[in-house]
Amino acid sequence: MSSSRVNKIHHTEQAIVVQNLRFSRGERLILDGVDIQVPRGKITAIMGPSGTGKTTLLGLIGGQLQPDSGTVSVENHIVSTLSRTELYRLRQRMGMLFQSGALFSDLSVYDNVAFPLREHADFSAAMIHDLVMMKLHAVGLRGACNLMPNELSAGMARRVALARAIALDPMLIMYDEPFTGQDPITVSVIMRLIRRLNDSLGLTSIVISHDVPEVCAIADQIYLLSSGQVVASGSPDELHRSESPWVVQFLSAQPDGPIPFHFPAKDFIDDMAESP
């Protein structure tokens, strides 16, 4: 059987299909039998408490990590079976907005956005210029093209990172905590950008976030993770109507419920009794 047949699995309406995914770090199980479907052209949010494997899931989708078992299929390709060349080609169709923005500090705004175009495409300087200006215009920062990253506000830096993420017109963009550390106005701007870019460019988007109101305002569907498992999924309206204790606790930010505050540990008295 050819490599192309081995590496493909057909899901016509889904951009990403995660099936029975398990992943561990050492003896700690991070993801425990996760099933997720990300439809093409939609915004899918992955939410849940800290430490439940949300960012790890992005690493598995992008092929930076290998699953212990189960599969991650992106555009009908099983990521873990791809060769280095095939994975590199698939990643060119993915955009990533890192939580920190991850701009190159020694490059201007213009050169940050131009970087993936110069790295992955054989375009003329004139073509790169036009594309960079188009992407910066889309995020409202065409006039900031000559600034350096240290001259940008946190919100502006996040928007430049978004322009870079869409530079190659990817089919998928993954957002890792896009609203963290932003003021309310910037949060509103980023929310609208995510929704507008997804719809106007025909993208598929995955948003990792703790921010319940913001995510519910833009997501088409939400998966709620806890303890490495999917505990609920559905549209924002469906989850708000849910009577599941997991969903109610997370969406209403209640301190007490099935989502534990304490990381698993031995009995407190036994721990205190041990000598240093």
pLDDT in tens, 190-208: 888 889 888 888 889 999 9
Q: pTM here?
A: 0.80
In this prediction, residue 264 carries a pLDDT of 59
Tokens describing residue 164: 């870079």
**Between 211 and 80, residue with greater pLDDT:** 80
Question: What is the tens place of the pLDDT at every residue in 138-189?
Answer: 888 899 899 999 998 888 888 898 889 888 888 999 998 888 777 788 888 8
**Between 234 and 213, residue with greater pLDDT:** 234
CA distances from 33 to 20, 26, 71, 198, 231 (A): 4, 17, 10, 29, 11
Query: Are 167 and 117 within 8 A, CB to CB?
Result: yes
Pairing mode of beta strands 14-25, 69-74: antiparallel
In this prediction, residue 201 carries a pLDDT of 83
Q: pLDDT category, 11, cuts 50, 70, 90?
A: low
Q: Domain spans of the chain?
A: 3-93+170-273, 105-169
The span from the CA of 240 to the CA of 147, in Å, is 43
Radius of gyration of the chain (CA): 20
3-93+170-273 falls under which CATH superfamily? Answer: P-loop containing nucleotide triphosphate hydrolases (3.40.50.300)
In this prediction, residue 71 carries a pLDDT of 93
Query: Are 117 and 107 within 8 A, CB to CB?
Result: no
